[in-house]
Amino acid sequence: MIRKDGSASPLKVVRGLGYGLDESAVETVKKKWRFKPGMKDGKPVEVKADIEIQFSLW
């Protein structure tokens, strides 16, 4: 859920990679990411969202 304040919670990993990457991604989204909340009649509302995070190794 994207909350009215732009934070995301609760978070659930649907298809994880393991090796600590899942936990790291969840913590990053919780602490650092902010989203623009959904709007209805000019007021912020909670919205259900799927967030896909891609990892790349260089």
Contact 8, 33 (CB under 8 A): yes
Q: In sequence order, what are the beta bridge partners of 8?
A: 2
What pLDDT, on the 0 to 100 scale, is given for residue 55? 79
Say what the pLDDT of residue 7 is: 94
Q: How far apart are CA 51 and CA 44, in angstroms?
A: 19
**1-58 pLDDT, tens digit each:** 999 999 999 998 988 888 888 899 899 999 999 999 999 999 999 999 998 888 777 7
